[in-house]
Chain A
Amino acid sequence: MKLKKNIATSESGFIFNPATGDSYSANPVGSDIILLMKDNKSIAEIKKNITSKYDVDDSQFDKDYDDLLAQLRDNNLLEH
């Protein structure tokens, strides 16, 4: 699952889609994941990174990661 190429992201969680002009804000966990996605990290790498930085177990992460993808998809921020 990849972010669309032209999506702009910032460390502070700001996301901008130049194709539509829509902007979004992400919370810190969301923003970390999106930056890792933008760096083309694998799911395993993203998971390792987040679960070591934040107080969350693997199964909670899996569920929430899927949920974040659904949010990105709903907002047309993912490659088809």
Chain B
Amino acid sequence: MYNDSVIGVAAAEADMPIRSNLSFTCSHVNLYYGSFQALKDINLKIERNKITALIGPSGCGKSTFLRTLNRMNDLVPGCRVEGEIMLDGVDAYKDVDPIVLRRHVGMVFQQPNPFPKSIYDNVAYGPRLKGITKKSELDEIVETSLRQAAIWDELKDRLKKSALGLSGGQQQRLCIARALAVNPEVLLMDEATSALDPISTAHIEDLALELKKKYTVIMVTHNMQQAKRIADRTAFFYLGEMVEYGDTEQIFDHPQEERTIRYVSGNFG
């Protein structure tokens, strides 16, 4: 079971086409939950080695859009996706196995969801799935991932304790560590810092800036300051549409669309 999946990943990596500076290219993406259309004709090119922020009022479809990128919406009964989503020039819906896709596109959920396992086993979960069983190797991955998520010092003495006993903010950072442990190329973060104190938030922001050197980060945030601080590109969503997309400075300082102007200036009503 484990070995098969390892071969799967290796094969996928070998087949990867030459890398462009684009990560995801979405063309005419429509998404329906039953008869409700949650995403309307989304066209978006997400750049590699950049942080892209998704902003917009609650219920506008940010999480939904994020879930189309790693095909987590496949699990929602009655959910239908139209259009084309290309990852590195490969059709993510036609030519990639969702399991392989999710190994390359990691996700941190809006609600922290650590497994009912020890802290160590939570982080080691992904690497073990990939077939890594050597204790020393796992130890190293666990430590590195927890350090990256700015939680190693807090947790290093209680790795064998249940993850469910952690505070909400600690759980969220643990989930970030768990996602990093499998070395994804793209990291999707759904309001990953909304439950964190300013210091941990700053750590996670530093982490995102560090990660973008190697990876691509796409983050949903309700915190405008955060988007301004770290995002290179920002997309504004409203009622299932992508209203405006551009360099972060442009979106915040010189928005073109009326709805963007009102949203970023806080006069939305």
Q: Do A and B bind each other?
A: no
Residues of B near any A CB (own CB < 8 A): none
